[in-house]
């Protein structure tokens, strides 16, 4: 068989190049189709991913600038913005610079600062994680460091003197006050039927315009309600503090191992080495001390192992009949 001519070799090379070109186009098309079929093989931008609950309603929705598949249902997400919904139609929005999301499990975590914007509060912290608790119908967020919460409501004193107790008609005006909370770590729950629950740990401090509480651990229950105009607002319903508790008010300090404040009914309970120091009334101590806003009194509850103690403030010199004055010369 004679070797191909130069013209035949040229034609063969042209045919080969044509086949390679067609294969390149076809291969690129396959890769493009594969990327489109998964949606995230090479990353996708400006993504919105909703998640529906058993009732057919959206339970959360993730928006992101860019999302990249890592493995299975786990994605690396840039600039995530997560909307968390509840049955009470409460929407809480959480955003960060980056995070890792498991879309099947409804969970995420990240190291950068996460900012939370709710309808009645805002918060932020670092080393965060999120978990949708489907069975309970709520969302759980945690901060492992630098936790901070700002409540759009005031925290009124529980132990107020009767002449300082405000009328209920003026209570709504106090709602424009604010309360700040800081702690080393924080857990946050968006409740199924509305409201929020906060669990704080490590160097906890909560402060409003008229009250400050410091302790090692604290739990805050916040309710969502509506005023007569139909506008939603929040109120701190209960505060539970533990570990070297110190509550400061104007001219008064309360200390105990633990403290429970029922801010709705205006009552409080100090337990364990309880002590109330008042610049005007003096000092009262006991194992348990009950606080009452309406009466403005601190009442020591009886305990068989300890006796209440009352220390009156320094009232100066008191003249008593039958005793000579100190500057009177004896004769």
Question: Across the chain, what does the average pLDDT equal?
Answer: 76
Structure confidence at residue 183 (pLDDT):
94
CA distance 100 to 68: 10
Q: Going along 134-184, which residue ranges are E strands?
A: 138-151, 179-183
Range in 8-17, 76-85, 231-240 the model is least confident about: 8-17
Confidence grade of residue 20 (pLDDT, cut at 50, 70, 90):
very low
CA distance 126 to 232: 29
Enumerate residues 6+ apart whose C-beta is below 8 A from 113.
96, 97, 124, 125, 126, 146
Domain ranges of the chain: 44-311
Structure tokens at 14: 């042209």
Contact 123, 152 (CB under 8 A): no
Max Cα separation, the chain?
Answer: 157
pLDDT digits (tens, 9 = 90+) for 35-78: 333 344 457 899 999 998 888 888 899 999 999 998 888 999 99
The winner for highest mean pLDDT among 95-109, 272-286, 302-316 is 95-109
pLDDT digits (tens, 9 = 90+) for 89-130: 677 899 999 999 999 999 999 999 999 998 788 999 999 999
Name the burial class of residue 247, with classes exposed (0-12), middle (13-18) and buried (19+) by CB atoms within 10 angstroms of its CB.
buried
Using alpha carbons, select from 120, 123, 297, 329 the residue that is nearest to residue 226: 120
Confidence grade of residue 80 (pLDDT, cut at 50, 70, 90):
very high
The mean pLDDT of 257-280, rounded to a whole number, is 90
CATH code for residues 44-311: 2.60.450.10
């Amino acid at each position: 068989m004679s070797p191909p001519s130069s013209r035949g070799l040229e034609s063969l090379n042209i045919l080969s190049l044509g086949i390679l070109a067609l294969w390149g186009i076809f291969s690129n098309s396959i890769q493009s189709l594969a990327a489109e079929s998964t949606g995230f093989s090479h990353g996708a931008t400006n993504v919105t991913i909703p998640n529906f609950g058993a009732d057919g309603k959206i339970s959360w929705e993730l928006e992101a600038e860019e999302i990249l598949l890592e493995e299975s249902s786990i994605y690396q997400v840039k600039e995530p913005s997560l909307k968390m919904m509840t049955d009470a139609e409460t929407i809480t929005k959480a955003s960060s610079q980056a995070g890792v999301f498991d879309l099947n499990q409804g969970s995420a975590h990240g190291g950068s600062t996460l900012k939370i914007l709710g309808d009645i509060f805002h918060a932020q912290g670092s080393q965060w994680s999120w978990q949708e608790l489907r069975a309970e119908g709520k969302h759980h967020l945690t901060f492992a460091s630098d936790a901070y919460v700002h409540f759009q409501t005031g925290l009124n004193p529980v132990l107020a003197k009767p002449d300082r107790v405000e009328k209920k008609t003026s209570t709504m005006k106090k709602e424009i006050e604010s309360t700040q909370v800081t702690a080393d770590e924080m857990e946050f729950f968006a409740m199924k039927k509305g409201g929020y629950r906060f669990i704080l740990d490590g160097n906890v401090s909560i402060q409003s315009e008229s009250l400050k509480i410091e302790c090692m651990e604290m739990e805050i229950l916040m309710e969502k309600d509506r005023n007569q105009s139909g506008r939603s607002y929040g109120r701190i319903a209960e505060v539970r503090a533990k570990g070297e508790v110190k509550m400061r008010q104007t001219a008064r300090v309360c200390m105990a191992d633990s403290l429970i404040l029922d801010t709705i009914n205006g009552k409080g309970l100090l337990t364990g080495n309880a002590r109330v120091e008042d610049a005007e009334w003096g000092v009262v101590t006991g194992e348990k001390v009950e606080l009452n806003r309406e009466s403005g009194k601190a009442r020591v509850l009886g305990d068989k192992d300890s006796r209440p103690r009352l220390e009156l403030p320094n009232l100066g010199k008191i003249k008593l009949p039958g005793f000579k004055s100190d500057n009177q010369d004896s004769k």
